[in-house]
Amino acid sequence: METVVAETRLAIADGADEIDLVIPYRAFMAGDEQAVRTMISEVRKACPAPVLLKTILETGELKDRGLIRNASHIAIQEGADFIKTSTGKVAVNATLEAADIMLTCIRESGRKVGFKPAGGVRTVGDARLYLNLAATIHNPDWPMPSTFRFGASGLLGDILSVLDGREPVAGATAY
């Protein structure tokens, strides 16, 4: 805990205006909900306004709908500015199922919390599915930079292809 808080303070001192925090999801899966609450709470305290705290749930590792829902609610309750599906570094990253759960938790909270699907969003068609889901759960005007972002470096190539009128990336979902 002390190391994470110290690294957060150092990053902010070095000019960071956003902090990505991966929750201790293995401890959470083992039943230690308090580890998640404490980690988020302590890092939140180390992030003075206007620094944003993005809490990464690693939903592909959590797998279970109930765990994803509980982790989302905890992150929101402890002050996350964004909840993010994944680091993009695990086998399963963003999924529409996890996005549905997380976006619903945000709506249920009544708080202004953003959502960031990360990893696995590779095409404009994929991106459209996430944007449509967010618009359906919230409203059509909800997805904007302050509430919705993609963590998908692979998406850029497909966006550029579409804008240039070239063929979409191989295997791209229709848009």
Flag whether 158 is in a domain.
Answer: yes
- CB atoms < 10 A from the CB of 57, how many? 28
Please report whether residue 64 resides in a domain: yes
> Residues 116, 126, 141, 164: which is the catalytic one?
116
CATH of the domain at 34: 3.20.20.70
Give tens-digit pLDDT for 115-125.
Answer: 999 988 989 99
Is there a domain that residue 172 lies in? Answer: no
Tell me if residue 116 is catalytic: yes
Edge-to-edge strand list for the sheet holding 52-56: 18-22, 52-56, 82-84, 114-116
97 within domain boundaries: yes
Is 20 among the catalytic positions? yes
Q: Find the catalytic residue in 54, 84, 126, 158.
A: 84
In a domain, 150, yes or no: yes
For 39-95, what is each residue's pLDDT tens digit?
Answer: 999 999 999 999 999 999 999 999 999 999 999 999 999 999 999 999 988 888 899
Active site residue 84: yes
In terms of residue numbers, what domain contains 44?
A: 2-163
